[in-house]
């Protein structure tokens, strides 16, 4: 029932979003540069972006993506993202993710329980001053089993209910483009009780960085690689 309600909401918001934005006419290009949070923007239809997170634009406002590193460690995941609002000083995107893993895969100390969860969420971009943007976002967590009280070993790649804040600074913008961007961010995972901090650098169409989870049991460092390889389908 929850999944059907969320799907219906996304359809309504999709129709609304078509009236709010125009393809390739983003008001503030800086909102396309985040650290770990998904951008409120989505790639245009037919564009496949390869990286630690790989996504494809289905329409100019709708994207499907997966976290490849999590998949490699058998934390299987997929996410539908939707760009909803786009203004010079504010942008909004929504997303709906799904994640599944067997807890015993994360650590032999964990019980062999399959944990699956729906994760609806959103992200907003706010222009603080020219060339500096603040991003706030997070997601809810609706699991098929309650992981609280199990005393499980965690992974930095395991999502739960979480919040994040990123800040991005275009430190050498050109006359008609953003230029190079430094992004930093912090996350807190309420479900599994660990936090993370990290830093990224963006060149035109390319991002490299890391996110560090000090008190996660396993996979404490998440490398970030995005862009560099873009395929027009």
Dump pLDDT digits (tens) for 155-185: 999 999 999 999 999 998 776 678 899 999 9
Count CB-CB contacts under 10 A for residue 74. Answer: 12
190: pLDDT strictly greater than 60: yes
| Every domain of the chain and the residues it spans | 2-232
What's the pLDDT band for 204 if we cut at 50, 70, 90? confident
How confident is the model at residue 24, as a pLDDT? 45
- Mean pLDDT of the 38-57 span: 93
CATH annotation of 2-232: 2.40.160.40
H or E element, residue 15: helix 2-20
Residue-wise burial string across 27-54, b where 16 or more C-beta atoms lie within 10 A, e elsewhere: ebbbbbbbbbbbbbbbbeeebebbbbbb
How confident is the model at residue 6, as a pLDDT? 44
| Helical spans, DSSP H, in 21-146 | 68-72, 103-106
Q: How far is residue 100's CA from residue 87's CA, in Å, rounded to a whole number?
A: 35
Bridge partners, 51 (sequence order): 226
* Model confidence, pTM: 0.86
């Amino acid at each position: 029932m929850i999944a059907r309600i969320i799907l219906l909401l996304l359809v309504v918001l999709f129709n609304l979003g078509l009236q709010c934005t125009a393809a390739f006419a983003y008001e503030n290009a800086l909102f396309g540069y985040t650290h770990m949070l998904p951008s409120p923007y989505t790639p245009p239809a037919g564009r496949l972006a390869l990286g630690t997170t790989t996504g494809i634009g289905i329409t100019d406002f709708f994207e499907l993506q997966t976290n490849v590193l999590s998949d490699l460690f058998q934390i299987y995941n997929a996410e539908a993202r939707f760009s909803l609002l786009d203004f010079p000083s504010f942008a909004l995107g929504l997303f709906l993710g799904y994640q599944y893993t067997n807890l015993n895969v994360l650590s032999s100390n964990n019980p062999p329980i399959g944990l699956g969860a729906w994760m609806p969420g959103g992200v907003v971009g706010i222009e603080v001053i020219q060339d500096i943007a603040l991003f706030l976002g997070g997601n809810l967590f609706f699991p098929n089993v309650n992981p609280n009280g199990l005393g499980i070993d965690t992974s930095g790649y395991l999502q739960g209910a979480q919040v994040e804040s990123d800040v991005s600074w275009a430190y050498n913008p050109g006359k008609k483009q953003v230029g190079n961007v430094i992004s930093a961010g912090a996350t807190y995972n309420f479900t599994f009780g660990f936090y993370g901090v990290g830093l990224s650098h963006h060149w035109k169409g390319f991002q490299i960085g890391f996110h560090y989870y000090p008190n996660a049991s396993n996979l404490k460092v998440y490398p970030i690689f995005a862009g560099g390889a873009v395929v027009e389908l």
